[in-house]
Structure 1
Amino acid sequence: MTPNSQFALLGTRRFLPFFITQLLGAFNDNLFKQSLILAILFKLSFEVDKEAWINFADRDLLVNLCAMLFILPFFLFSALGGQFGEKFAKDALIRLIKLAEIVIMAVGATGFLLESLPLMLLALFAMGTHSALFGPVKYSILPAALREQELVGGNALVEMGTFLAILAGTIGAGLLMSGKGYQSAVGIAIVATAVAGYLSSRAIPRFAASLPQLQLDWNIFRQSWRIMHLGLGQRPAVSRSLIGSSWFWFLGAIYLTQIPNFAKDLLHGDESVVTLILTVFS
């Protein structure tokens, strides 16, 4: 490893604890979400209520509902998360968000142990909110922690860690769900990962607030519109990059959500087939 290698950042306290924290967060997001999707498709039983306005026995519909519940908070709360990241000390904000993750995963674990779909869906929406609030500070902390010549390498490491964590969490869910005692296995895994993420966040050095005098705008729709208008109003190189990146994540979310349906309905496989497809895909 050369002194100029981005991997040298992994040996520094100003980067490593944050890197581990964000990696564990991305891993836990996908471990829980994929475990819930697999539980809906292969484990949980549903009763058909013909008078209900929505058929909750439709497993394909529930899988897509999971995707919506996880993604919706990013539209609603990302702008608010950006304000938090400017007004408050970034290290303290990360620790608070990670502490909330422990509570959320405790709710999710309870949902798995009780096989309660409402509890699991509530935890999924809460985890989406957690990630929406964490995302802005995740990227705004890098310019404060790294020197200018380290920013490209630091961003590359964060992106690499995020993608590896997404794939590892998705595949790990398949492995946990293939066992008989999947309820306790998933519950222990998601809570333990959340605790590990909080502990690693405690080692993040202090980074002062950028704009402590900022007045928070709690109107999430107005703020979201302003952010969208600001992003799309940049010069073409920037605005098109934003659109391209958003489209990439949009397609990725669609494919990862539909692979379990594809494996079950068209290949007539079980959780192990889903895991095999994702392993080959990764």
Structure 2
Amino acid sequence: MRLGGPVDRKDPEAWVQSLKALGYRAAYCPVGASESDETLKAYADAAKQADIVIAEVGAWSNPIAPDETQRKDALKHCREQLALAERIGANCCVNVSGSRNPKQWAGPHKDNLTRETFEMIVETTRSIIDAVKPTRTVFALEAMPWAYPDSADSYERLIQAIDRKGFGVHLDPVNLVVSPQVYYRTGAMIRNCFKKLGPHIKSCHAKDILLKEDITTPHLDEVRPGLGGLDYTAFLTELAKMPDVPLMMEHLPNQDEYKKAADHIREVGKKAGLAFA
């Protein structure tokens, strides 16, 4: 299996050495869409030579924003980032589906989980893919607690409705933990995701989630892998069945925290008889 996380980049050689020093064999895209073809090729060649997979290009924006200017800017950004993923050979370009919230680009809103918004997501995603026509990468949506896809089932429905070879799955199981019922059964949730979405999964995020016990209403906090309730044994067991899908750590404040997260993930894998090469 391949584990990765964010690193600084000065040039292709230094970037690869930073990844190797941390034992990573997967990476976030190190360059932006405005970089020259020469620069992109240098990083792509360095990654290939070092057997490092460029897991994903982020396209973080709100393509279903209620504001027309914001929506158009987001769609343009998604097209540019998908084109970047295609140029550099990343596994996927990933975004959230967006939100109808006028103030928070990825925030909750009463209209997010409606049939109308589902159809908007289908149309915007198709338009992004059809504009770029990717052949060696895909455009993927990361699940959110309050926006489609919000479950394996709604992801399945989106795959069927979008109906494009250039559409794939980015799996972040922590984002699907939305209740105590799911929190205490994350293994079953994860296995269900891989069962239903497995062939479409191109990249995964590694983080953790903790249900607080000192208050009387459900409160879930994102935490470093190993400090929460996510069933990493189930996660890694299912991931190991996949054909070289990278696992990318995120949202940690410094490299010391990333090392602790990586150590935990590797230790869980070791106990389960699984290895990160």
- Mark yes or no: TM-score above 0.5: no
More helix by share: 1
More strand by share: 2
* TM-score range relative to shorter protein: under 0.3
Query: What TM-score comes out, normalization by structure 1 length?
Result: 0.26
**Structure having the higher Rg:** 1
Query: What TM-score comes out, normalization by structure 2 length?
Result: 0.27
